[in-house]
Structure 1
Amino acid sequence: MREFEGKVILITGAAGSIGSSAARSFAEAGAKLALLDLSEEALETAAADINTEKLLLTADMTIEAEMERAVQATVDRFGRIDVFINQAGISGDFLPLTEQTVESMEQVLQTNVVGAFIALKHVLRVMIKQRSGAVVNGACSGSLLGGPGMSTYVASKHALLGLNKTAALEVSEYGIRVNAVCPSALDTGWMEDIESKAAKGNEKTARSGFEASVPLNRYGTVEEVTGLMLFLASDRASFITGSYFRVDGGQGTTSV
């Protein structure tokens, strides 16, 4: 189905595993793409096999002027933004809270909260003028649960859900929907980095422990996440806003 034929999709973190998978899926559904990331080289590599009209944008989301320029460049090229996938983020250090540094906390919050806020601010301004649009925020299971060793990341992703709910309330009158997806561990390079941080030299043991915390006893795939993103961005989800959806193999049902 090409249900996004002619639609304009802006994706941040587009060079990452989830962002690039979402880009390919939206392209296959007929969309035009504005793909944003920090590294031009990584972005070009990720977008090389995506066959659709696309605009590649490099910007630091934590710098408001850069994000504002990227949003304007998207509008200048395509005339509108129909869907925003707010996916960019960093993991931070894997350490007990008592060993985390203020600098690490500030860096993670700056990217995962302030950057997401800036991006939402400027994209929603465009959608309000259009009186239409759909946003999918890239949250995670850490938005809902604790995570030993990941206090900075978990705090930032809890905050992102607060932005998700508030934004949904503020823009509903304009016909704009805002939702979030909350995946647990996925079979990606990002999770390999977490495994290494958690148990340097014993990554296989770390992975086994992470998988054991999931009732389905495995990592998820990026396609299992981006499939939900496409649904939430589509007209099939026209009465869904302000919500978040677990993609976690049942992990959330095992914790208080």
Structure 2
Amino acid sequence: MTSSAFKLQLQQALFAFGASAADGGSEDHWVPGLSSKLTASGSWPPAGSSLSLSLRTVILDALAQEYDENRVLTCAVTQKIVKEAEWRLGFAIQDLPTDSGHAQWLNARAIQALDFLYLDYNPPKPLDAVITPSILSKYHRIFVFCLRLMRVESVLQSLTYASKSSFHLQSQELAQIFQHFKFMANSFISTLSNYIFTHVIGGFFDKFLQDFVTEGSIIAFDSVEDLKNLHSQVLDNILSACLLRSHLKSTAKVSL
């Protein structure tokens, strides 16, 4: 999610950005922030075929673009990564719970509407000893949180375009109130997104990667278990900073 290429591809597949974000008044099943391709059927979650079609090329296109921009696509290692990505990394749908506590998943207008979507990764050996199912579940929680942020960004952008076409017809006082709200909301979400992607995810994970290499030398760990524990702790730190840990749920509710 810190890859600009991947984030752009994902925005185009799932969300309504740009002028299209506000162009949905004539659509029977238009939902703010979400791509009309996902809501056209009127049911939620979207049918597997429409979702698969939207997400089919996101990962491969993003990888190819990122490596090509860095001019390393011709490297044998990166070619292997892109080729294996077709089956190692992909979008998957989590089983939807039927209990009332997760009913928001079934509501396209809820902030939790995309919580069923996650990235499924099949790590190669011996990485599977470090990237375990419990660690992948932490990645999933972070990914879901990032999707929520992107959804809010999409909705706020739709307000920008809506204001240009609608609010000039209303009273000047109402227009000023709306403009003030839009400015404050955009400032808050922009600051929050920058904090999450740059300082939290980027900060903790960059430090984690630096722990492997110092002045060109690979740092040795006493055991695979030590490496796995460090990896898990890094993700716990990210979850804590995002108020996503279980013991921080009450704090997160107050903040929201």
Q: Which has the higher strand share?
A: 1
Q: Which entry has the higher C-alpha Rg, 1 or 2?
A: 2
Q: Which has the higher helix share?
A: 2
